[in-house]
A and B are shown apart, each in its own frame.
Chain A
Amino acid sequence: MRLTLRRRVTLSFTLGLLVVTGVLALSTWNLATGYLLRQREASATRQAELDARLATTSTALSDLLTGPDSAILVLGPRGTRSAGRPVDPALLPAALLDRPPGTARITVDGAPMLVVALPLPGEDVYVELFGLRHLHRTFTFLGLALAAATAGAALLGVALGGWASKRALRPLAELGSAAGRIAGGDLRARLPDQDDPDLAALAAKFNSTAQALEQRALRDARFASDVSHELRSPLTTMVNAGAVLRRRGEHLRGTAGTALELLTSEVDRFARMVVDLLEISRADQTDDPPPEEIALDALVRDVVAAREPVPLDLEPAVVLGDRRRLDRVLTNLLDNAERHAGGAVLVRVRTCGDRVRLSVEDAGPGVPEDLREEVFERFARGVMAGSRGDDTGSGLGLALVREHVHRLGGRVWVEGRSPVGARFVVEMVLRSSDG
């Protein structure tokens, strides 16, 4: 598994700090213990020299002992004299006894001891052993303290690394969220100005890219709008001239009549398409009036009242939005059902928790599962190729439904209906259900 950038920064911080404090702790340990040992050796040697001189003047060895741990041995051809803690002479390093003076450290019965050997006049060797327990306790304490400091430094490294990486990566997080907003359709997302020269370049580039993208999207939308707009004038002439001709259609029979019928119906379709295109290019713009409370059940009743009768199943529900958009959504769904499925068979409004669902059901051929997203695309008419009748739509009806529903803060989908047909469902936030 690859570590995230943040983890890696934190980890490097921790390791770096661990190595530095570890080296420092180790050298401190070496220097301090070496120094303390040398000090102890020097003082022990001085003490032993003094004691050795006293030992030659027939002072009792036991009087010379410095503590309960210490021991004194005088080894010589005439035998061994000893005092204090009993120590087996065989434990003493032979090299030391052969060539005094010298010092060595040994362990006697688990206790650390410092051995100082000094030559006495004659063949005798004076050996004094000093307990090192105190010194070793100090070493243990020092070791623990250094280990604790190293561990503390490592923890600090984690914290510091985490903080630093978070701080250093904040512009990246901002970049990520801005890019996410742009991907989500908000082309106005920008990065804030950065102080850091490295980041400033990145932010500037990102912002200029976003701006170019926004302008391009605006240009495209304006172009679609301009084209549709420019088409309006000639279309007005065409549809009206067509209507006049159609009225006199009975004078034109046969080929000319068919051609006239084709021409006028296509002009009508063209006009609808231009109107829908204008509507869809306007759907992105924000000239909505402030959202108002709309009684959804009443709206459905009113819209349906102006059309072929459809069975209704309505619960009282109030939603917040733009009435014009909601009208258009329902009208387009009913148009769609008429065009492709022989008309709607049921329009239902149902509340469900804090949501309300408006569904339009038909008993037509239904929408195959793999096309249920696609039908909401612009000009997705290939999808319905088999069911194109005489009265074909603009190919934008369901795309407009989706645009409007999005602007109303809801979502729309199509599902299968049993036994046959399709159910288009619009889900919106319920304002209240008291009608």
Chain B
Amino acid sequence: MCVRVLLVEDDERIRQALSLALSDEGFAVDEAGSGEVALRRLDAEPFDVVLVDLTLPGLDGLDVVRTLRARGDLPIIVVTARADARDMIAGLEAGADDYVTKPLMGDVLAARVRALLRRRGPGRDAVRVGDLEIRPQEGLVHRAGERVHLTRTEFRLLLELAGAGGRIVTREQLLHKVWGYDYFGDTRLLDVHIRRLRRKVEANPDHPQLVLTVRGSGYRIPS
């Protein structure tokens, strides 16, 4: 299976170099020089993952992410030049699944993409926690009988937590299993996703009953 990647980046040299490196990693890379071009291409063709530079001329990278997220759960990786927490969190809040900062290496980016596209473990039975019913086979989540729309990353995060049978899952384990991080770094990526997940599955996201924070170590879903 060939993974189709759309690379949205205005700097032509970076675009070419990344495109070469990702092709070397076995991806089919298409390039877009602006947000407008990217959205047009995504309308016309199917892609497996989109890499979006946040600083684009014209349509801003954040707007591209927001538009794409409103359309569906296409995996999005944000590429930021600034490593400021604000930019990164804004990108994740807009709906990105992961982020990388420049200078980024093609192989690191490839690992990120592969982690994002990893299929859920086969043969898992449906899991019930609280009033949530998770069906890993179909990738569906129902809350009190009603369908909840989760992105692929949110789904895998929920599944990791629900599958632990009430045990604590540390932040590092989550980063490793969901995002494929083997360098345990920024857990803000996780914080933002937990926030997003709570907004969708909790009755009151400010007072979570389901996805509980275990101070100092991680999260757990009581079984």
Contacts and interface: CB of A to CB of B under 8 A. Distances in A.
Interface stretch (B68-76, B78-86, B139-147): B78-86
A229 B81 contact: yes
Given A243-B105, A243-B107, 4 more contacts: A236-B17, A241-B21, A243-B24, A275-B103
Given A232-B103, A327-B185, A241 B17 contact: yes
B63 to A, nearest CB: 21
9 shortest interchain CB distances as A-B pairs: A302-B172, A240-B17, A235-B103, A293-B216, A240-B21, A232-B102, A237-B17, A236-B103, A237-B13
A160 to B, nearest CB: 57
A159 interface: no
B105 A239 contact: yes
A425 interface: no
B21 A287 contact: no
Nearest to B84: A287
A346 interface: no
Contact of A274 (B103, B216, B217): B103
B104 A303 contact: no
A323 B17 contact: no
A294 interface: yes
Interface in A317-368: 318, 323-324, 327-328, 331
Given A241-B17, A327-B184, A287 B102 contact: no
Given A240-B21, A241-B20, A324-B185, A232 B81 contact: yes
18 contacts: A232-B102, A233-B13, A234-B13, A235-B102, A237-B13, A238-B17, A238-B103, A239-B105, A243-B24, A271-B103, A282-B84, A293-B216, A294-B216, A298-B170, A302-B170, A302-B172, A302-B173, A327-B184
A193 interface: no
A306 B180 CA distance: 11
Interface of A is mostly: helix
Contact of B183 (A239, A298, A331): A331
B223 interface: no
A295 interface: yes
B40 interface: no
B189 to A, nearest CB: 10
Interface in A276-329: 278-279, 282, 287, 289, 292-295, 298-299, 302-303, 305-306, 318, 323-324, 327-328
Contacts of A247: 24
B128 interface: no
B18 A295 contact: no
A297 B33 CA distance: 47
Given A294-B216, A302-B172, A239 B24 contact: no
B215 interface: yes
Contacts of A232: 81, 102-103
A244 interface: yes
A428 B220 CA distance: 28
A292 B20 contact: no
B91 to A, nearest CB: 15
Contacts of B217: 295, 298
A14 to B, nearest CB: 61
Contacts of A295: 216-217
B131 interface: no
Contacts of A229: 81-82
A298 B168 CA distance: 12
Contacts of A234: 13
Contacts of A278: 83
B188 interface: yes
B80 to A, nearest CB: 10
A303 B207 CA distance: 31
B171 interface: yes
Residue in B83, B103, B176 with the greatest tally of chain A CB atoms within 10 Å? B103
Interface string A216-251: 000000000000010011111111110110010000
Interface residues of B, number: 37
A399 to B, nearest CB: 18
A282 B184 CA distance: 19
A323 B18 contact: no
A386 B184 CA distance: 31
A235 B84 CA distance: 18
Nearest to A282: B83
A244 to B, nearest CB: 5
A96 to B, nearest CB: 107
Interface string B33-77: 000000000000000000000000000000000000000000000
B106 to A, nearest CB: 5
Given A302-B172, A324-B185, A324-B186, A240 B106 contact: yes
B187 interface: yes
Contact of A303 (B83, B107, B184): B184
A232 B81 CA distance: 7
Contacts of A279: 83
A287 B216 CA distance: 20
A306 B184 contact: yes
A324 B105 contact: no
Given A275-B103, A302-B170, A233 B187 contact: no
B186 to A, nearest CB: 5
A318 B186 contact: no
Interface in A236-268: 236-241, 243-244, 247
B86 to A, nearest CB: 7
